Chains A and B, each alone.
Chain A
């Protein structure tokens, strides 16, 4: 098919669709083009996010090889139940978000608003559990730079009586673990806060019916963002909490 034929077909397709929905921006020819463009842009943005977290994962990989015992002991000091609870919360929130996108596609306004609110509640729940964990780490003097003390790692951990305590120089290296822990979970939590805020705005507009008249792209793309933030956690959970579970 030569270019003329392609051009003619596009032109005809453009003419058949006489009614332009209000959400079609002037520089797009069709709703389909607008939706594809927005989704493509979102995937690219997520690619930049992968590179953003990638720097941290790279640092994690190197230091985990260097200071493996410190990373194991650091990991043992976290609450595994809290990490598991948060993982569950996030997986459920991904489900509610996916249902929200489905509700938007099937044009069910109240269901969309309901699923969005459920997602917001789950997101806030995640942040609360995370805040509790951070508070606990503060109390135990595990925050590098602010109140860090390696003493705790130079005694036998009652939860792991079989493990020998660390020597002072390796116990000092748990600072690297906790630096990465706070940087990674902090960046992740920042993305959660941004996500919850954006979702709150989306919910208000969804209540007005903005996304249940064929204009699915914003909800769909926000869903992509939300799932991405979940997936980051799916990587963080084993790296930070489960390092030595196989031993």
Chain B
């Protein structure tokens, strides 16, 4: 009944003859695939494309802000550029980044399934993503949008003549892409786990995706209906948010942030999952306080739904509700801190090695902590009234989203690259890229904290000359950061052909995904695995010296 599968040794590894990459060839076999690994690769390519478009927009912003007057870009062009940067980076990069690429690839393998629960819906999710991306590009090429990524009413409904409807519908469609990804994950994690894979044997990557999926499934529809109402106000002029007809723009803010605050946890939670895996693997230790880390993900998801009005402290909400939301905002810091402390405790007395994913993970821990703590500043009302709408906010969420999430994404891409492609990335240059990214990041965004504290407002193309020195630092840092992001694009592409053969388990990690060949078979497992050990059980791995995996089938 139970057989033993033996994997080849690391040093003599060759690329397997049959894998999900070589099973079928041709464009059709990719565009009509139901295989979660192929869809993950499609997502990886399209997300990278949009990341670099959004990055180019960021480059333009920083170039404009090199000098105090608005000289490179006119003020309205500048508005369109930062709007495009925001919409692309939030909805087309950060939200799907880790879940749709890495999550899509490894979650079914981590739980011991052959595929996600609904392969066709998974493919549909990618097509919706591409459709949304095309609409954003169309809006951009045909003249742009200048609402900011927040689509604030009545600005978006009454005062602008740009392509708000195209962009709004694009975000609506991207939202459904995200709903379908989240739905697929929840169902897969509930119903597709292999025999013996209990909830508390799941890797923390799966737990954090589960929490993020709850947010996707419950939050995104509210954004969808809000955008439908905005589009209806623009096209036929209904009066839900329009004060001249009795509507209230503040309701738009409530509905929008009811999604868009949980959305930042949709973005960061999967990244936290990556960090749990990487920290554990490269310190050769079980994650300290596994249960606490698992439940802190769920706690972040739950608390995340009750803090949205901290985006609205200066918008005229009542002082009492501001007080309650301020308090609840502080509470979210608790589960986030639990994670940071537990990762640090995992490192304690671990056998730490400094591979590239680990360098990015260290970057994450440091930068996310700064980003998170400044979030607590902004959550306290007095500070927020001083700092909101300044570069302090910009620096804060870039520390969390770029310093945190993007670092985690790059960490994850490097970590699972050998599994996805069967080949290693070049270690030396990738370490250099990780360090360049970190240095570039600090140089770009730390001056923005100072600028914001001194009172430089966000969303303006021009600024007083006394802010120039810090802005020059920031723009210089952005170019360094740009190099840090281009390097992985180049060497990862290079490694597809010239990288060293990775073998099944180059990191000697414990996850189920490392017990199968790289790149995996289309069915992932030859026979259904039986799980007899906890996640991160390095003693179990040690006892399996010959890489034996018990299976059923």
**Is A179's CB under 8 angstroms from B1's CB?**
no
* Residues in B neighbouring A179, C-beta threshold 8 A: 232, 238-240, 245, 247
**Is A41's CB under 8 angstroms from B237's CB?**
no
* Residues in B neighbouring A215, C-beta threshold 8 A: none
**Interchain nearest-CB distance for A68 vs B (Å):** 12
**Is A183's CB under 8 angstroms from B552's CB?**
no
Asked if A45 is an interface residue, CB under 8 A from chain B, the answer is: yes
> Which label, helix, strand, loop or mixed, suits the secondary structure of the A interface?
helix
8 A Cβ contacts from B182-236 to A: 183-184, 186-187, 190-192, 195-196, 198, 217-222, 224-226, 228-229, 232-233, 236
User: Considering only CB atoms and an 8 Å cut-off, how many residues of chain A contact the other chain?
Assistant: 50
8 Å CB contact of A27 from B115, B221, B247, B251: B115
8 Å CB contact of A145 from B192, B219, B222, B238: B238
Asked if A52 is an interface residue, CB under 8 A from chain B, the answer is: yes
* Residues in A neighbouring B184, C-beta threshold 8 A: 41
* Residues in A neighbouring B225, C-beta threshold 8 A: 52-56, 187
**Is B221's CB under 8 angstroms from A49's CB?**
yes
* Closest 6 pairs between A and B when the two form their complex, measured CB to CB: A145-B237, A7-B195, A3-B196, A179-B238, A52-B221, A27-B114
Q: How far is the CA of A173 from the CA of B242 in the complex (A)?
A: 11
Q: How far is the CA of A217 from the CA of B186 in the complex (A)?
A: 19
Can you show 25 pairs from A to B with CB atoms below 8 A apart?
A6-B196, A7-B195, A7-B530, A10-B552, A11-B528, A25-B119, A26-B114, A26-B523, A40-B191, A41-B117, A44-B187, A45-B183, A47-B217, A48-B179, A51-B219, A52-B221, A52-B225, A54-B222, A63-B246, A144-B236, A144-B238, A145-B237, A145-B239, A172-B245, A176-B246
**Is A44's CB under 8 angstroms from B186's CB?**
yes
B219, B224, B225, B236, most chain A CB atoms within 10 A: B225
Asked if A67 is an interface residue, CB under 8 A from chain B, the answer is: yes
Q: How far is the CA of A54 from the CA of B251 in the complex (A)?
A: 13
Q: How many A-B residue pairs have CB under 8 A?
A: 144
* Residues in A neighbouring B530, C-beta threshold 8 A: 3-4, 7
Q: Which of A29-37, A76-84, A107-115, A197-205 contacts B (4 or more CB under 8 A)?
A: A29-37
**Interchain nearest-CB distance for A225 vs B (Å):** 14
Asked if A16 is an interface residue, CB under 8 A from chain B, the answer is: no
**Interchain nearest-CB distance for B321 vs A (Å):** 13
**Interchain nearest-CB distance for B8 vs A (Å):** 26
**Is A48's CB under 8 angstroms from B220's CB?**
yes
Q: How far is the CA of A46 from the CA of B17 in the complex (A)?
A: 43
Asked if A180 is an interface residue, CB under 8 A from chain B, the answer is: yes
A6, A27, A67, most chain B CB atoms within 10 A: A27
Q: How far is the CA of A5 from the CA of B323 in the complex (A)?
A: 53
Given contacts A40-B187, A41-B187, A56-B225, contact A146 B236 (CB under 8 A): yes
Given contacts A41-B187, A44-B186, A144-B239, contact A172 B221 (CB under 8 A): no
**Is B119's CB under 8 angstroms from A29's CB?**
no
Asked if A228 is an interface residue, CB under 8 A from chain B, the answer is: no
**Is A4's CB under 8 angstroms from B220's CB?**
no
Asked if A131 is an interface residue, CB under 8 A from chain B, the answer is: no
Q: Name the residue of chain B whose CB is nearest to the CB of A54.
A: B222
Asked if B382 is an interface residue, CB under 8 A from chain A, the answer is: no
8 Å CB contact of B528 from A29, A37, A40, A54: A29
Q: How far is the CA of A25 from the CA of B444 in the complex (A)?
A: 50
Asked if A175 is an interface residue, CB under 8 A from chain B, the answer is: yes
**Interchain nearest-CB distance for B352 vs A (Å):** 32
8 Å CB contact of B218 from A14, A51, A53, A144: A51
* Residues in A neighbouring B258, C-beta threshold 8 A: 55
Interface of B with A (CB < 8 Å)? Answer: 1-2, 113-115, 117-119, 121, 179, 183-184, 186-187, 190-192, 195-196, 198, 217-222, 224-226, 228-229, 232-233, 236-240, 245-248, 251, 255, 258, 523, 528, 530-532, 552-553
Asked if A62 is an interface residue, CB under 8 A from chain B, the answer is: yes
Q: How far is the CA of A246 from the CA of B510 in the complex (A)?
A: 66
Q: Name the residue of chain A whose CB is nearest to the CB of B113.
A: A27
* Residues in A neighbouring B232, C-beta threshold 8 A: 179, 183
Q: How far is the CA of A56 from the CA of B248 in the complex (A)?
A: 13
Asked if A162 is an interface residue, CB under 8 A from chain B, the answer is: no
A7, A36, A45, A145, most chain B CB atoms within 10 A: A7
* Residues in B neighbouring A176, C-beta threshold 8 A: 239-240, 245-247
**Interchain nearest-CB distance for A36 vs B (Å):** 6
Given contacts A67-B246, A144-B245, contact A51 B221 (CB under 8 A): yes
* Residues in A neighbouring B191, C-beta threshold 8 A: 33, 36-37, 40
**Is B118's CB under 8 angstroms from A175's CB?**
no
**Interchain nearest-CB distance for A53 vs B (Å):** 7
* Residues in B neighbouring A26, C-beta threshold 8 A: 114-115, 523
**Is B237's CB under 8 angstroms from A146's CB?**
yes
Q: How far is the CA of A43 from the CA of B258 in the complex (A)?
A: 22
* Residues in B neighbouring A187, C-beta threshold 8 A: 225, 228
**Is A27's CB under 8 angstroms from B218's CB?**
no
**Interchain nearest-CB distance for A67 vs B (Å):** 6
Asked if A58 is an interface residue, CB under 8 A from chain B, the answer is: yes
Q: Name the residue of chain A whose CB is nearest to the CB of B237.
A: A145
8 Å CB contact of B217 from A6, A8, A25, A48: A48
Asked if A222 is an interface residue, CB under 8 A from chain B, the answer is: no
Contact with B along A48-74 (1 / 0, CB 8 A): 110111111011001100110010000
Asked if A182 is an interface residue, CB under 8 A from chain B, the answer is: yes
* Residues in B neighbouring A51, C-beta threshold 8 A: 218-219, 221-222
* Residues in A neighbouring B196, C-beta threshold 8 A: 3-4, 6-7
**Is A175's CB under 8 angstroms from B222's CB?**
no
Q: How far is the CA of A45 from the CA of B226 in the complex (A)?
A: 18
**Is B552's CB under 8 angstroms from A11's CB?**
yes
Q: Name the residue of chain B whose CB is nearest to the CB of A15.
A: B1
**Interchain nearest-CB distance for A62 vs B (Å):** 6
